[in-house]
């Protein structure tokens, strides 16, 4: 077997461009600036640490940002996303189901900072919920991967079609379909179809939008909005109409449910302008009045090394 090849997918440097954003205010707490400087330093040190580990193991590697890539990533054995959950989600948008992904939380939250500074500002750092490694265990986890002692899991993603044309990006967490101004009312109808036939009533909606999540994303925005957590390896999707205008109890019961692997949600969009937000605010796909949007789990799975707290045996 030849030398292993690893691609380091790095957090955007824009995340730490705090000088122009914060230093202009004379009232800015000096502790905030020091905190942001420290975050930048810790992240950069984590990147260099990971590079050095790859060097010591004689692994061929390259490092890049998402702005320099076109999907899908190819010709490597492993992608290592160094940053946090946002970086990992961004990396997943460039990947099919052929290469595994490892997330490294480069800037974990420090409990003592939260305790000491919590009364002055939000001192939480990166959650890294999906990241299996930090600098503390990266070398060991990498060794386990290279030696075949650790295998990736396959997580479902969301496939999106607009007017029968597939979008090139699959959502690992969730999608939000809403007016271009999410505070505005969206008008749309949807129903579920199974094997080409309707499997639910037509639901007509006036609301602030529609969210659909994977099992992975069910513990994020979906859960905070009143949804339910799903087993991480579930192939089902969960949907919820955001802030529905109807107060009819029977109608409300149709506003939240699941989409099985054999089902597709078909959405008729009746708002002048709208957007499909994929895994947050980027990427975004525009939709317009009359568009038909199809949402399902018929997407390539993502191979990913999971952190201990997400391993199925511990759920």
CATH of the domain at 275: 2.60.200.30
Identify whether the C-beta of residue 198 lies closer than 8 Å to the C-beta of residue 210: no
The pLDDT, as a whole number, for residue 215 is 98
202 and 113 both lie in a single domain: no
Residues 197 and 126 in one domain: no
Contact 17, 27 (CB under 8 A): no
With a pLDDT cut of 90, the percent of the chain lying above it is: 73
Q: How many domains, in total, are found in the chain?
A: 2
Among 151, 182, 198, the domain boundary falls at: 151
| Domain assignment of residue 103, given as a range | 5-151
Q: What is the pTM of this model?
A: 0.92
d(CA 172, CA 278) in angstroms, rounded, equals: 9
Q: Are residues 90 and 180 in the same domain?
A: no
Q: Which residue has the higher pLDDT, 133 or 67?
A: 133
Q: What are phi and psi of 165, to 5 degrees?
A: -100, 125
**Helix/strand/coil (H, E, C) string of the chain?**
CCCCEEEEEECCHHHHCHHHHHCCCCCCCHHHHHHHHHHHHHHHHHHHHHHHHHHHCCCEEEEECHHHCCCCCCCCCEEEEEECHHHHHHHHCCCCCCCCEEEEECCECCHHHHHHHCCCCCCCCECCCCCCECCCCHHHHHHHHHCCCCCCEEECCEEEEECCEECCCCECCEEEEEECCCCCCEEEEEEEEECCEECCCCEEEEECCEEEECCHHHHCHHHHCCCCCCCCCCCCEEEEECCCCCCCHHHHCCCEEEECCCEEEEEEECCCEEEEEECCCCCEEEEECCCEEEEECCCCCEEECCCHHHCHHHC
47 within a domain of the structure (yes/no) = yes
**pLDDT digit string (tens) for 177-217?**
999 988 899 999 999 999 889 889 999 999 999 999 999 99
Last residue of a domain, one of 117, 151, 185: 151
Q: Are residues 176 and 253 in the same domain?
A: yes
Q: Is residue 118 part of a domain?
A: yes
CATH number of the domain within which 60 lies: 3.40.50.10330
194 found inside a domain = yes
Does a structural domain hold residue 304? no
The answer on 177 and 138 residing in a single domain is no
CA-based nearest residue to 125, from 53, 39, 2:
39
Do residues 91 and 212 both lie within one domain? Answer: no
Residue 183 is predicted with a pLDDT of 84
Shared domain for 230 and 271, answered yes or no, is yes
Q: Please indicate, yes or no, whether residues 131 and 169 belong to a single structural domain of this protein.
A: no
Q: Is residue 310 part of a domain?
A: no
79 with 37, same domain? yes
Q: Is residue 306 part of a domain?
A: no
- Whether the CB-CB separation of 117 and 123 falls below 8 Å is answered with yes
Please indicate, yes or no, whether residues 138 and 186 belong to a single structural domain of this protein.
no
Rounded to an integer, the average pLDDT of 231-257 is 86
Q: How confident is the model at residue 313 (pLDDT cuts 50, 70, 90)?
A: low
- Domain assignment present for 243: yes
* 168 lies in some domain: yes
**Are 122 and 58 in the same domain?**
yes
Q: Are both 48 and 79 inside the same structural domain?
A: yes
User: How much is the average pLDDT of 6-34?
Assistant: 68
Distance of CA 105 to the CA centre of its chain: 14
- Cα separation, 225 vs 243, in Å, equals 9
């Amino acid at each position: 077997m030849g030398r292993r090849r690893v691609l380091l997918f790095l957090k955007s440097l824009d995340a730490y461009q705090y000088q122009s954003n914060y230093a202009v205010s004379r009232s800015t707490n000096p502790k905030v600036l020091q905190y942001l400087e420290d975050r930048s330093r810790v992240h950069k040190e984590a990147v260099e640490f990971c590079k050095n580990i790859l060097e010591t193991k004689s692994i061929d590697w390259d490092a890049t940002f998402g702005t320099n890539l076109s999907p899908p990533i190819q010709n490597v054995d492993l992608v290592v996303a160094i940053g946090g959950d946002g970086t990992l989600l961004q990396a997943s948008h460039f990947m099919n189901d052929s290469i595994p992904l490892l997330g490294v939380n480069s800037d974990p939250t420090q409990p003592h900072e939260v305790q000491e500074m919590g009364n002055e500002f939000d001192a939480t750092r990166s959650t890294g919920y999906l990241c299996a490694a930090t600098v503390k265990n990266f070398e060991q986890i990498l060794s386990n991967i290279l030696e075949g002692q650790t295998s990736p899991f396959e997580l479902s993603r969301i496939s999106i079609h607009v007017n029968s044309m597939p979008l090139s990006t699959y959502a690992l967490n969730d999608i939000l379909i809403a007016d271009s101004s999410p505070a505005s009312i969206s008008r749309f109808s949807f129903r579920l179809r199974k094997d080409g036939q309707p499997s639910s009533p037509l639901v007509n909606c006036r609301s602030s939008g529609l969210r659909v999540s994977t099992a992975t994303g069910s513990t994020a925005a979906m859960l905070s909005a009143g949804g339910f957590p799903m087993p991480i390896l579930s192939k089902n999707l969960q949907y919820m109409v955001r802030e529905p205008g109807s107060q009819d109890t029977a109608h409300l019961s149709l506003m939240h449910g699941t989409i099985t692997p054999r089902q597709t949600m078909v959405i008729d969009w009746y708002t002048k302008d709208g957007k499909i937000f994929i895994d947050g605010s980027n990427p975004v796909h525009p939709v317009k009045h009359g568009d038909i949007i199809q949402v399902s789990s018929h997407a390539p799975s993502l191979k990913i090394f999971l952190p201990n707290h997400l391993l199925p045996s511990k759920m």
